Structure 1
Amino acid sequence: MSRIRVLLADDHPLVTEGVRAVLETFDQIEVIAAVATGRDAVDTIERMAPDVTLMDLNMPGMNGLTATELVLERDPEARIVILSMHDNPEYISTALRHGAKGYLLKDVATEEIVTAIEKVHAGETYLCTGTEGALTPEGEREVLTSREQMVLLRLARGLSNKEVARDLDISVRTVETHRKNIKRKLNIDTTAGLTRYVLESGLLGLTD
């Protein structure tokens, strides 16, 4: 059986070394690298393609949520589990909205870390014990990620997909994917409708 290749992203060496030492006692898991910044996480995931990444929320330069968004923009199939000290439901639901497949508190038992890695690797979503209530209730309008808001603002200003792609330094295909997700989340089918949503929601006041 092939081992699950795991990347650790955390700027606290004691945390990284502790988690690595624990995971390496399990035959089914291989820690392939450890990085200390969000930017290094993005670059390493692109280069090494780990099966699962354990990503800290708070890292210097680029936080874990932004790093998660950038990774998923390049590879929608990437599997990222947020590893955090915060058990606030808002942190958890925000992480899930940004595309994380799991959320773990740093003080959970070793067995739960391994369980999370295995379940996320298998394509499931995993929330550690006590945080399951943070999932978005069925039927509630999904919240746009910061990247989707940036795309939406430009579309509402009349920019074409090509112009948005050039402005944000992403591919036209990525813009099209964002546009599709925005329309699905907001349940709005037309550009005029998106523009009206931006005006009514106050998004034009956001800096981007």
Structure 2
Amino acid sequence: MNDPKIRVLVVDDHPVLRDGVAALLANHTDMMLVGEANNGSEALQRYLELRPDVTLMDLQMPGMNGVEAIGAIHAENPHARIVVLTTYAGDAQAVRALRAGAAGYLLKSSLRTELVDAIRDVHRGQRHVHRDVAGEIAKHVADEPLSEREVAILRLVSVGHANKQIAARLRLSEETVKGHLKSIFAKLDVADRTHAVTVAARRGIIEL
């Protein structure tokens, strides 16, 4: 008797991506697409309805994002097997997703070559993280992370606020804001505000 097919749910707000995943899975007899969702809230609802073996999850979606949806699904079923699909290789974002409960992390550019193996690996209880993402995680594993306050300041910097405006928004002194910026620059190994924002966005610490 043949093994049952791996039942897959795909969550992404772009229909073209969902159609592409469906076409890929249709070429493999050991797996089948059982459902689709286009945001995090719908992902949780569909997961509870369908109880798929593997869920493919985008991260950037309107409303409840992918990391929040992973956490919500894991709260319902700690054994849920989830593979992230994203365009971003940033280590900070990947670590958030893996800590929330994802077992796989793929770049959308690698779906054609890597998706099927990732589904099989995660279904077997293994991890599957794209090599570029794994390299970024390893590169920054010993770095001191930014504090919540530092991330909040960097988000305000990214939308063009000056130190005085940041101080007023966060009810801090300008000197305190300057001190936090100095710490941010040291942790990110950058020399100025623009470079700090660029590096933080690339790594997934903030979103632009």
TM-score category (smaller protein): 0.5 to 0.7
CA–CA distance in 2 between the matches of 1:119 and 1:109?
Answer: 14
Structure having the higher helix fraction is 2
C-alpha distance in 2 between matches for 1:37 and 1:136 = 30
| Secondary structure of 1:76's aligned partner | coil
Match of 2:19 in 1: 17
The one of 46, 49, 66 aligned to 1:47: 49
Match of 1:104 in 2: 106
Gaps of 5+ in 2: 146-208
- The structural deviation recorded for 1:53 is 0.4
Q: Secondary structure, in 3 states, of the residue corresponding to 2:62?
A: coil
Moved more, 108-117 or 5-14: 108-117
The alpha carbon displacement at 1:19 in A equals 1.3
CA distance in 1 between partners of 2:32 and 2:11 (Å): 15
Structure 1 residue 57 and structure 2 residue 59: aligned?
yes
Aligned partners of 1:69 and 1:136: how far apart in 2?
Answer: 23
Q: Which segments of 5 or more consecutive residues in structure 1 lack a partner in the other structure?
A: 144-208
How far did 1:36 drift? 0.4
Q: Deviations along 1:90-148, whole A, 9 cap, x unmatched?
A: 111111111111100001042310000000000011101322235579x98xx9xxxxx
SS in 2 for 1:92: helix
Give the residue type in structure 2 aligned to 1:59: M
Amino acid at match of 2:42: D
User: Cα RMSD over matched residues?
Assistant: 2.2
> TM-score normalized by structure 2?
0.64
Kindly indicate whether the alpha-carbon contact (under 8 Å) linking 2:70 and 2:101 is maintained by their aligned counterparts in 1: yes
Equivalenced residue count is 142
Matched residue type, 2:124: A
Measured in 2, the distance between the counterparts of 1:135 and 1:125 equals: 14
Deviations 1:150-197 (A, max 9, x none): xxxxxxxxxxxxxxxxxxxxxxxxxxxxxxxxxxxxxxxxxxxxxxxx
* Match among 30, 35, 48 for residue 32 of structure 2: 30
* Distance of 2:4 and 2:29 partners within structure 1: 10
CA offsets 1:7-66 (integer angstroms, 9 cap, x no match):
000000111111111111111110001110111100111111000000000111110000
Equivalent in the alignment of 1:123: 125
Partners of 1:109 and 1:84 in 2: how far apart?
A: 10
Is 1:93–1:136's contact at 8 Å kept on the other side of the alignment? no
Larger radius of gyration: 2
